[in-house]
Every structure is written in structure tokens, then in C-alpha cells.
Amino acid sequence: MDHSEKRSVEGGVLPDALALVREALGRLRYGAIHLTVHDGKVMQIDITERKRLTD
């Protein structure tokens, strides 16, 4: 783990991102979670939810 990785973990960035992903997984039935990473840090989380319609 280099210095920038240690800072992002200690500073709460990674735990916050993981908490958001965990929350999304808990409520998402159909869809996708896309993480955007820059320089080893999670910068953006996109959640695409699909609604299934039945006849």
C-alpha cells in the first residue's frame, strides 16, 4: 500500500464508498453499479436500476 492508498483509507474515502456500494446492493434487485476510479480513489458511483414489468 503506497502513501496515497493509505491516506484514502484513513481519510474515510474508501469506507464511505464501500458503505454506499453496500447500501445500493441492499436495495437493488436488477441493475448495475459502476465505480469510477482516478489515481486509485473512487471518485464517482453510478447506480442504474432496472424495473421489471410483468404482464
Closest CA to 34 of 49, 45, 50, 23: 45
Q: What is the pLDDT of residue 21?
A: 94
CA gap 50, 55 in Å, rounded: 16
Q: Which helix (H) or strand (E) holds 44?
A: strand 41-49
Q: What is the pLDDT of residue 44?
A: 94
Q: Flag residues of the chain having pLDDT under 50.
A: 1
CA gap 20, 23 in Å, rounded: 5
- Other Cβ atoms closer than 10 A to 15: 12
The domains of the chain are located at 3-49
Q: What is the pLDDT of residue 12?
A: 63
Q: What is the pLDDT of residue 26?
A: 95
Q: What is the pLDDT of residue 22?
A: 95
